[in-house]
Amino acid sequence: MSVRELVVLGTASQVPTRRRNHNGYFLRWDGDGLLFDPGEGTQRQMIHYGVTATSISDLLITHFHGDHCLGFASLVQRISLDEVPHAVRVHYPASGQRFIDRMRKASIFRDVAKLDTMPFEGEGTLLETSDWSLSARRLDHGVECFGYRLQEPDRWNVDAVAAKTRGITGPAIRTLKETGTATAPDGSLVRLDEVAERREGQSFAFVMDTRRCANAVELARGVDLLVIESTYLHSHADEAHKNGHLTAREAAEIAREAGVRRLVLTHISQRYRETEPFLEEAAAIHPDCVVAEDGDVVPFPPRREAAPA
**Among the listed residues 291, 292, 278, the one whose alpha carbon sits nearest the alpha carbon of residue 247:** 278
Q: Hey, is 276 helix, strand or coil?
A: helix
DSSP string for residues in 4-20: EEEEEEE-BSSS--SS-
Cβ at position 214, least distance to Zn ion in Å = 19
Cβ at position 239, least distance to Zn ion in Å = 14
CA 208 to chain centre: 11
Beta bridge partners of 158: 196
Q: Is position 32 annotated as part of the catalytic site? A: no
Interface residue list for Zn ion (CB under 5 A):
65, 209
Helices (H), 97-179: 97-104, 160-165, 171-179
CB 153 within 8 A of CB 129: no
Catalytic residue of the set 30, 37, 58, 67: 67
- 289-291 and 262-266 as β-strands: parallel, antiparallel, unpaired? parallel
How far apart, in Å, are the Cα atoms of 237 and each of 231, 242, 245, 274?
10, 9, 9, 18
List of E strands, 73-170:
88-93, 115-120, 124-128, 133-138, 146-151, 155-158
What region does 301 belong to: left with phi over 0, alpha with psi -120 to 50, or beta? Answer: beta
**Cβ-closest residue to Zn ion?**
65
Pseudo-torsion of CA 83, 88, 94, 98, nearest 10°? -10
Cβ at position 210, least distance to Zn ion in Å = 9
Beta bridge partners of 124: 136
Cβ at position 65, least distance to Zn ion in Å = 4
Cβ at position 283, least distance to Zn ion in Å = 26
Cβ at position 205, least distance to Zn ion in Å = 17
Residues marked active site are found at 67
